[in-house]
């Protein structure tokens, strides 16, 4: 199915092969995964409810789905305690922790360039108000 994602030959006949990092983006930056990973990374091991409270707007259904994916991909570790009431804890895995520098880079990029993005938007919006040749 998927071959070497970081191949040197830039043949892009395949869907995603126009961009070698696409599969990675898919697992790391799919919806809700960033807040989840970020929270687990900064807050440490958390119970399901605690995690849910952190990411206030997420529903338990979606949170469960995302956690399953992250667990499946080895980025998050799930620990089930047979108790009454049941207790389940989630923590970031070693593999997941290797993403920290990446996230830091991203945060850094944001702090440096976000203003530029907003300026670009304002400019674009202004130019869009006036009828012009597209």
Partner DNA sequence: CGGCATCCTATGAGATACTG
Partner DNA sequence: CAGTATCTCATAGGATGCCG
Chain contacts with DNA (rule: CB under 7 A): 2, 9, 11, 31-32, 47-50, 57-62, 64, 67-68, 78, 85-89, 134
25 binds a second copy (CB under 8 A): yes
Q: At 104, list the tokens.
A: 């830091």
Is-contact 29 44, C-beta < 8 A? no
Distances (CA, A) of 96 to 24, 34, 92: 12, 11, 6
81 binds a second copy (CB under 8 A): no
β 46-47/76-81 pair status: unpaired
Name the 3-class secondary structure at 132: coil
The correct pick among 47, 62, 73, 91 for binding a second copy (CB under 8 A) is: 73
Residues that bind a second copy (CB under 8 A): 5-6, 10-25, 27, 29, 31-32, 34-35, 38-39, 42, 54-58, 71-75, 80, 82, 95, 98-99, 101-103, 105-107, 109-114, 116-117, 119-121, 123-125, 128, 133-134
């Amino acid at each position: 199915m998927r071959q070497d994602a970081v191949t040197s030959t830039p043949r892009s006949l395949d869907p995603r092969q126009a961009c070698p990092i696409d599969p990675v983006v898919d697992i790391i930056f799919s919806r809700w995964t960033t807040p989840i990973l970020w929270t687990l990374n900064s807050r440490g091991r958390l119970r399901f409810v605690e995690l849910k409270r952190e990411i206030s707007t997420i529903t338990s259904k979606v949170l469960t789905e995302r956690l399953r994916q992250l667990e499946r991909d080895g980025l998050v570790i799930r620990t089930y305690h047979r108790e009454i009431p049941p207790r389940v804890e989630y923590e970031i895995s070693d593999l997941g922790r290797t993403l920290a520098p990446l996230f830091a880079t991203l945060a850094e990029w944001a702090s440096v360039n976000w203003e530029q993005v907003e300026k670009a938007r304002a400019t674009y919006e202004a130019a869009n108000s006036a009828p012009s040749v597209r």
